[in-house]
Amino acid sequence: MSSPNDPPAQARNPLHGLTLEAIVTALVAHYGWEELGRRIPLRCFTHEPSITSSLRLLRKTPWAREKVEGLYLFMLREQRRARPLRFKA
């Protein structure tokens, strides 16, 4: 049992609360289908790609979902590094 002062269990997990659809949509927006298919060579990304077909495969295939989640985390790190640092005045 947790006390009210305990931090949320998933506070530092960037995947917490995201749907698989949101992850795939963000990856497609960032990389596009062609680059996504190059980075993770799955038919659902390379042959007539769609969010629906991708979700169908990823929900049934844990190893593929792990690759997609890993690429999403990599993308977030890339985006963080690309942002200029802001200093408080």
pLDDT at 6 over 60: no
pTM comes to: 0.79
Domains and CATH numbers, the chain: 20-80 (1.10.720.30)
CA atoms within 13 A on the CB side of 32: 2
Question: pLDDT tier at 5 (50, 70, 90 boundaries)?
Answer: low
Return the ∠ at Cα 6 (arms to 5 and 11), rounded to 5°: 125
Report helix, strand or coil for 24: helix
Q: Are 75 and 81 in contact (CB under 8 A)?
A: no
| pLDDT tens readout for residues 16-69 | 888 999 999 999 999 999 999 999 999 999 999 999 999 999 999 999 999 999
57 vs 59: CA distance, rounded Å: 6
- The predicted model gives 73-87 an average pLDDT of 84
